[in-house]
Structures are given as C-alpha cells and as structure tokens.
Amino acid sequence: MALDKRDALEFPESDRVFLEPHLPRQDGTTPRSDMPFTTLTFATSLDSALALSPGARTTLSGPQSKAMTHYLRSRHDGILIGVGTALADDPGLNCRIAGVGGYGSEGLIGQPRPVVIDSNARWDFSEDSKLFQLCRQGRGRAPWIVTTLSEPPAEKQKLLEKYGGRYISLQMKNSTGDHHRIDWNDLLLTLRSHGLQSVMVEGGGHVINSLLVPQYMSLIDSVIVTIAPTWLGEGGVVVSPPRRFDGEGNAISAARLRNVKWYPFGEDVVLCGQTQS
Ligand SMILES: NC(=O)c1ccc[n+]([C@@H]2O[C@H](COP(=O)([O-])OP(=O)(O)OC[C@H]3O[C@@H](n4cnc5c(N)ncnc54)[C@H](O)[C@@H]3O)[C@@H](O)[C@H]2O)c1
Ligand SMILES: Nc1nc(=O)c(N)c(NC[C@H](O)[C@H](O)[C@H](O)COP(=O)(O)O)[nH]1
C-alpha cells in the first residue's frame, strides 16, 4: 500500500534548482539554533486573494506550481495552517510528490507534520477527516494542534493520540497586548523544541496577516508566493497585513520583500524573496 505511486505528482529535478537558495538547508542546520527555518508560502490571485470566501476551497495554482508546493512540503518538517483553513478545506496537508513516503517509498520520510493553530479547539475532526484517512494509508502524519486551552477536549485528544498527533497548549501572550493572538516567537520556539527544524506557513488569511507585522517579520526566513493569473473578486480572503505609519502619521507600505526572484511556472509566476536583507 505504501508503495502506490499512481496518484503521485511529478516535480522534475530541473525545476528544483531555482528553489534551492530559498529552502531550508539540507543538513538541517538553521540560521538561529532555537528557531525553525520558517518559510511563508501561499498561492494568491491578482487581487491578493487566497480564496473566494473564508469557507471556500479555491484552486489557484496550476499543475506545475501545485507540484512545486508539494515539493516544498517534502523539504519542511512542518506545515502550518489556521483552523479557518482546516474547517474550509478538510485538508490532507501531506506531500504527494513521487518518491516520498506513501508515494513510492516506505515509511513517512518526506512527509511533513501538519500543525493547526486552533486556540479554542474549534476544529471538529473525526476518523473520516482526510488527514486521518491519509494516516491510515501510511501517506501522512497526524496533526499537532496548538491550543490555548490547558485541558483540550478529551475525546478529540484521544483520537489525535491514536494516530500519533497531539494537542500543544500555549499561553496567549502577545507582546502587543493582543490577547486573541498567539505570539509567533513562542509558537515557533515551541515547534523547534518539539523537533521541527523547518516550518512552512501556508495560510490562511488570518495566519499570514498576523505574521506579516514588524515585530515578527524577522522570524520569516523565506517567502515563496505563487501568483495565478486570475481575479477572484470582492469578498475573498485576502493577504493584507495591518497598515503602518511613519513618525509623521503618513501611511507607508506594510512590508516589502528583498532579494527577489521571479520564476514563470506554467501560467503562474512564483515569487521568492526575503523580508530582510
Ligand atoms: N491560496 C492559498 O495558498 C491558501 C492557503 C491557506 C488557506 N487558504 C484559504 O484561506 C481560507 C481560510 O483563511 P482564514 O483567514 O479564514 O483562516 P485561517 O486559516 O487563517 O484561520 C484563522 C483562525 O486561526 C486562528 N489563528 C490564526 N492566526 C492566529 C494567531 N496568530 N493567534 C491565534 N489564533 C490564530 C484563529 O482561530 C483564526 O480565527 C480558506 O478558504 C482556505 O481555503 C488558501
Ligand atoms: N499552493 C496552493 N495553491 C492553491 O491553489 C491553494 N488553494 C492552496 N491552498 C493551500 C491550503 O493550505 C491547502 O492546500 C489546503 O488546506 C488543502 O491541503 P491539501 O491540498 O488537501 O493537502 N495552496
């Protein structure tokens, strides 16, 4: 069962070369020893939308950039989303590239650990959830769910642990005094302490907008964005971080990438850059 390659995606060696400078190091070392290498990656429309509406699973990536995203999954220890995405997508969050665990080789090598931010344990997963189906097929790992509850619901905890997942309890302690937001420093330190040396943050909108703020920008080691040639229109889930102002109260850009490279990829373009020089 674990060797079935029928529905595997192909991502040719020739396409991997351009990504290499933007990925975690192959030897597992990280720029900061206590933090994972953190990649921010998502697919967006021309009007900066991730999805048609908060509850809608919306395909943006073409076949080549979709395969690229799955290659990125194989190169990170963890893949992080918010509960809004878990509720909307019933996601698999595994890697479906030919050659990784469950898609041409044994075990779970190359399969990232899904991490879901779900402060109040809202996500009502079950044995039928796609993630657990993939676990049963040997094609993915069970999620770690980050909650602020000190005692997560016992039944859900039991199901998670049955598949090798777990709840991780984290205090809401935000340097800006926003008690509704997990502090990204705490979150990433915690994930590193649990063994993740690299994490790709995939979305959705709330997660990305909460990370793209000055106090957390330095935590992002790499940004890889797929831009699809489509406008989703009003009402979409957008990437648009909080406004910033200079000392005189004039609006300035919220964030700007440096060391930017653009790669055409099928009908999409993939933008790679860094949040600092
Ligand atoms: N195009 C893409 O690449 C892409 C990627 C991911 C998701 N999506 C889409 O995005 C949509 C979901 O986005 P969304 O913005 O509604 O949900 P989300 O996935 O960002 O989750 C939002 C929830 O996560 C929690 N959360 C997020 N950041 C937090 C923080 N810093 N501290 C504490 N809690 C935090 C909160 O409970 C919040 O309500 C879906 O439609 C999904 O299909 C698209
Ligand atoms: N790269 C990319 N292109 C897209 O067109 C799109 N819709 C997403 N969405 C990202 C989202 O985080 C996950 O793709 C889903 O949550 C589903 O995950 P699975 O594919 O089931 O593993 N990502």
ipTM of the assembly?
0.98
Please tell me if the CB atom of residue 111 comes closer than 6 angstroms to any atom of ligand 2.
no
pLDDT score recorded for residue 44 = 98
Average the pLDDT over 32-59 and give the result. Answer: 96
- Residue scoring higher pLDDT (178 or 65): 65
pLDDT for residue 2 is more than 70 = no
pLDDT for residue 222 is more than 50 = yes
Please tell me if the CB atom of residue 203 comes closer than 6 angstroms to any atom of ligand 2.
yes
Q: How far apart are CA 233 and CA 230, in angstroms?
A: 9
pLDDT score recorded for residue 173 = 64
Q: What is the mean pLDDT of the chain?
A: 94
Residue nearest to atom 27 of ligand 1 (CA): 207
Q: Which residue in 200, 170, 199 sits closest to 186, CA to CA?
A: 170
This prediction's pTM? 0.96
Please tell me if the CB atom of residue 58 comes closer than 6 angstroms to any atom of ligand 2.
yes
Please tell me if the CB atom of residue 140 comes closer than 6 angstroms to any atom of ligand 2.
no
End-to-end CA distance of the chain: 46
Distance 215 CA to ligand 2 centre (A): 27
Considering only 79-93, 179-193, 250-264, which range has the smallest mean pLDDT?
179-193
